[in-house]
């Protein structure tokens, strides 16, 4: 970062247009936060945030399409050609009452108090795209140079205002491969119990982000901060946990696959309890359970190493994976390879074997009822037997054969 500046051509043209329009009507406007941090690090910003002395109602009047995103927090989303830009009013926060939102906020006319209320120095750098200058009152650029995560002001105060800042500090340290400044790290550990007051959904969202970028370092920092037992009480008890964390970076799958990697030596019910408490969706939890279950089924296939064992394994994926099932298959390959299993080599040699799903069966329950089989558990068992028959050979998947087979059971 020897040449600390932002080139106008690297700024999102629509974000620039928003600032120009605000300026035209007499308002200050700065691009601020993570997008400026990313530009200075020569990364591609994921979103663009703007701050201004215009009030939400004034912003709303200046732009034809807006969404009142967090009006109580002074935030309006401006929509231009389907792209969303958060525009916030300069503000000063009052006392925090719920580890997330202040009891009151006060709109101010200068940007400096607004920057002071932000979490970390590297997120409190503003850029005026009209005057083409950076505003950095908390020396965030210096911390970017030195690869340091540091709170603005006293760490204890920032952490107690919003306990999620513990996980945000860890996420930034992991994703940027930075270190957390000594005093900030000490107070993260001293006040880690503040996480008890943070909503589970907010914690979940940070965990997902941590798992996406440098997850070994992120999970290791969560462990060192003493937050792991608070967030994942059952994961915390696994005897191979720290070995799994050390090796997590070799798991190249989605974040669900990485959670499966961490939990696969534990009990599925314990994992489900941890993730349900964190408000992961049922679909997300089912995906993780399926991946872990497939590891056990793969071991059976690997021992037998037959076409029928392969078809039985693949049937589990085709019948239980969300569409498209190929995505689950690929995630399983990545998970199993991270566990040093030669799954790709073993499974691909049988790829020419046809495997039909239950949806592809030539008969269904209605066909069996018409054939005189009474609805109930017996019918379900016969239908399952018919499915096993077509797994043995896909040529058995024709209605006359299966009806004869079913009525002969």
Q: Where in the chain is the domain with CATH 3.30.460.10?
A: 1-146
The residue whose two tokens read 């006319």 is: 109
Question: Number of helices and strands (H, E) in the chain?
Answer: 21, 11
**3 state SS of 218:** helix
Candidates 3.40.50.150, 3.30.565.10, 2.60.40.10, 3.30.460.10; correct CATH number of 1-146?
Answer: 3.30.460.10
64 φ, ψ to 5°? -70, -30
Look at residue 2 in the predicted model and tell me its pLDDT. 46
User: Which of 134, 136, 74, 133 lies closest to 105 in space, CA to CA?
Assistant: 74
Give the contacts of 366 (CB within 8 A, at least 6 positions apart): none
The residue whose two tokens read 């046809």 is: 354
**3 state SS of 32:** strand
Return d(Cα 247, Cα 232) in angstroms, integer: 18
Task: Give the pLDDT of the chain (409 residues) as one tens digit per residue.
Answer: 546 778 888 999 999 999 999 999 999 999 999 999 999 999 999 999 999 999 999 999 999 999 887 766 889 999 999 999 999 999 987 665 555 566 677 899 999 999 999 999 999 999 999 999 999 999 999 999 999 999 999 999 999 999 999 999 999 999 999 999 999 999 999 999 999 999 999 999 999 999 998 999 999 999 999 999 999 999 999 999 999 999 999 999 999 999 999 999 999 999 999 999 999 999 999 999 999 999 999 999 999 999 999 999 999 999 999 999 999 999 999 999 999 999 999 999 999 999 999 999 999 999 999 999 999 999 999 999 999 999 999 999 999 999 999 988 7
- Give CA separation, 13 vs 16, 18, 31, 48, 256, in Å: 5, 9, 12, 11, 35
User: Which of 242, 180, 271, 253 lies closest to 212 in space, CA to CA?
Assistant: 253
Whether 22 contacts 60, CB under 8 Å:
no
Look at residue 6 in the predicted model and tell me its pLDDT. 87
**99 secondary structure, DSSP code:** S
Burial class from Cβ neighbours inside 10 Å (0-12, 13-18, 19+) for residue 332 reads buried
User: Which of 257, 98, 215, 226 lies closest to 162 in space, CA to CA?
Assistant: 98
**238 secondary structure, DSSP code:** -
**Helices 282-304 and 255-263: angle between axes, nearest 10 degrees:** 60
CATH level 2 (architecture), domain 148-231: Orthogonal Bundle (1.10)
Whether 212 contacts 255, CB under 8 Å:
yes
Residue 174 preceded by cis peptide, ω within 30:
no
User: Which of 342, 260, 251 lies closest to 293 in space, CA to CA?
Assistant: 260
| HEC string for 165-205 | HHHHHHHHHHHHCCEECHHHHHHHHHCHHHHHHCCHHHHHH
Pairing of strands 49-52, 83-89: parallel
**Cβ count near 100 (within 10 Å):** 14
- Give CA separation, 402 vs 311, 314, 367, 387, in Å: 19, 21, 10, 9
Q: Where in the chain is the domain with CATH 1.10.110.30?
A: 148-231
Whether 295 contacts 289, CB under 8 Å:
no
Look at residue 77 in the predicted model and tell me its pLDDT. 95
Whether 175 contacts 207, CB under 8 Å:
no
Look at residue 1 in the predicted model and tell me its pLDDT. 53
């Amino acid at each position: 970062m020897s040449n600390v500046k932002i080139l106008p051509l690297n700024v999102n043209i629509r974000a620039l247009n928003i600032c120009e329009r605000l300026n035209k009507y007499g308002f200050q406007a700065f691009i601020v936060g993570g997008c400026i941090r990313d530009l200075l690090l020569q990364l591609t910003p994921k979103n663009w945030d703007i701050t201004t002395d215009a009030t939400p109602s004034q912003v709303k009047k200046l732009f034809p399409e807006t969404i009142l995103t967090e009006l109580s927090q002074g935030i309006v989303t401006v929509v231009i050609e389907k792209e969303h830009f958060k525009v916030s009013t300069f503000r000063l926060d009052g006392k925090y009452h719920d580890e997330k939102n202040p009891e009151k906020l006060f709109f101010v006319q200068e940007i400096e108090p607004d920057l002071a209320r932000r979490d970390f120095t590297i997120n409190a750098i503003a850029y005026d795209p009209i005057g083409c200058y950076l505003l950095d009152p908390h020396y965030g650029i210096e911390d970017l140079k030195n690869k340091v995560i540091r709170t603005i002001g006293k760490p204890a105060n920032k952490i107690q205002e919003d306990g999620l800042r513990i996980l945000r500090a860890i996420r930034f340290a992991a994703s940027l491969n930075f270190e957390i400044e000594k005093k900030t790290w000490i107070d993260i550990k001293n006040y880690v119990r503040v996480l008890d007051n943070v909503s589970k959904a907010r914690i979940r969202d940070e965990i997902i982000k941590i798992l996406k970028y440098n997850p070994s370092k992120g999970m290791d920092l969560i462990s060192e901060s003493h937050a792991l037992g608070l967030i994942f009480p059952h994961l915390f008890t696994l005897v191979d946990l720290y070995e799994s964390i050390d090796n997590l970076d070799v798991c190249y799958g989605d974040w669900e696959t990485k959670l499966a990697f961490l939990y696969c030596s534990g009990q599925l019910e314990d994992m489900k309890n941890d993730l349900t408490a964190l408000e992961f969706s049922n679909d997300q939890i089912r995906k993780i359970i399926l991946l872990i279950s497939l590891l056990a089924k793969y071991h059976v296939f690997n021992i037998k190493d037959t076409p029928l064992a392969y078809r039985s394994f693949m049937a589990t994926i085709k019948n239980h994976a969300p569409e498209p099932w190929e995505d689950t298959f690929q995630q399983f390959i990545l998970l199993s390879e991270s566990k040093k299993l030669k799954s790709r080599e073993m499974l691909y040699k049988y790829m020419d074997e046809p495997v039909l799903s239950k949806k592809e069966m030539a008969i269904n329950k209605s066909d069996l009822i018409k054939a005189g089989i009474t609805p109930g558990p017996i019918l379900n068992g016969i239908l399952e037997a018919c499915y096993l028959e077509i797994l043995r050979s896909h040529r058995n998947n024709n209605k006359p054969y299966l009806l004869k087979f079913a009525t002969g059971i």
